[in-house]
Amino acid sequence: MIRIGCAVWAYNGWVGDLFPPGTRSSEFLKLYSRKLATVEGNTTFYATPSVATVARWVEETPPIFHFCCKLPREVSHTGSLAERLPQARTFVERMQGLGSRCGPFFLQLPPGYGPARLADLERFLAGWPRDVALAVEVRHPDWYLPPAEESLMTLLNRYHVGRVVMDVRPIRDPTDPAGLLLADARERKPDVPLRPLRSSGPTLVRYIGHPDLARNAPFLNEWAARIAEWAQTDPRIYLFMHCPDEARSPDLCRQIAARLRERGAPLVEPLDEPPPSPMQLDMFGLS
């Protein structure tokens, strides 16, 4: 089933939109998990939660909700991946306390980790627990060139590991009049080409949306068509909507969800988020 979510579950600016007025920060996860079906677990990149915290996350979320936890930076950003397999396994054991709420893990490789280190990546994937879903994001530009990309996809297919697909096109339009406002986002997000390639593992899509929601329409139409087609063969798809203005991310989630419903795609529907009204569909250009 297709799951849609944001990069975080705790954002004060969502109070009055995704969350009811007056919502306390301690209620954010519980309410978020009833509005959206997944979340990028970016917090685990910086710190591994305690056993008690993992148990609290389980208590606050419904069974259909999935956390896609990013591997800690001491695993992914401190040299050889293969040498840090013991730390990776320890992290996996901790996060498997999430039970059914544990979605695919997310290995984000640093910009300096290029194809020359393919053998190290293979040793890491060979040692990764076979029964634990994983997806990999590459950022070095050489991974996007034909020889290296083919080798990468062959490797991911061999170990049934997913590929993280990033779409930064909405924030990198050179004719965009809001260019100066997006300078920080462009600095933080990698300038990589869109390569919508799937492997034999789960697919994670990271869409970096424009804060002017109307400018996202052609990109979201394209993604809805692509994801609906992908879902016909393998619906293990996680779609994460980012935005330089985080307040807009829930709107992007609603827009892509509306488009996918129109196409009959198999979505995991949130518990408390009703389908869009005809007025909303008209606003999204879908009626």
Report pLDDT digits (tens) over 91-125: 999 999 999 999 999 999 999 999 999 999 999 99
Residue 279 dihedral angles phi and psi, to the nearest 5°: -65, -40
Residue 280 pLDDT greater than 70, yes or no: no
Pairing of strands 203-208, 2-6: unpaired
Separation of alpha carbons 262 and 94, rounded Å: 39
The fold for domain 2-283 equals TIM Barrel (3.20.20)
Sheet arrangement for strand 38-41: 66-69, 38-41, 2-6, 237-242, 203-208, 162-167, 134-137, 105-108
* Lowest-pLDDT range of 18-32, 169-183, 187-201, 246-260: 169-183
Distances in whole angstroms, Cα of residue 74 to Cα of each of 33, 81, 97: 28, 9, 21
Give the domain ranges of the chain: 2-283
Count Cβ atoms below 10 Å from residue 81 Cβ, excluding itself: 24
Q: In the chain, pLDDT over 90 holds for what percent of residues?
A: 83
Question: What is the model's pLDDT at position 279?
Answer: 43
Q: Which of 107, 99, 34 is nearest to 69 (CA)?
A: 107
- Asked whether residue 271 carries a pLDDT value surpassing 60, the answer given is yes
Confidence (pLDDT) at 286: 47
Q: How far apart are CA 212 and CA 72, in angstroms?
A: 33
The pLDDT of residue 177: 63
Calculate what percentage of the chain has a pLDDT beyond 70. 89
User: pLDDT grade, residue 172 (50/70/90)?
Assistant: confident
User: What pLDDT does residue 104 have?
Assistant: 98
Does pLDDT of 3 surpass 60? yes
Question: How much is the pLDDT for 285?
Answer: 46
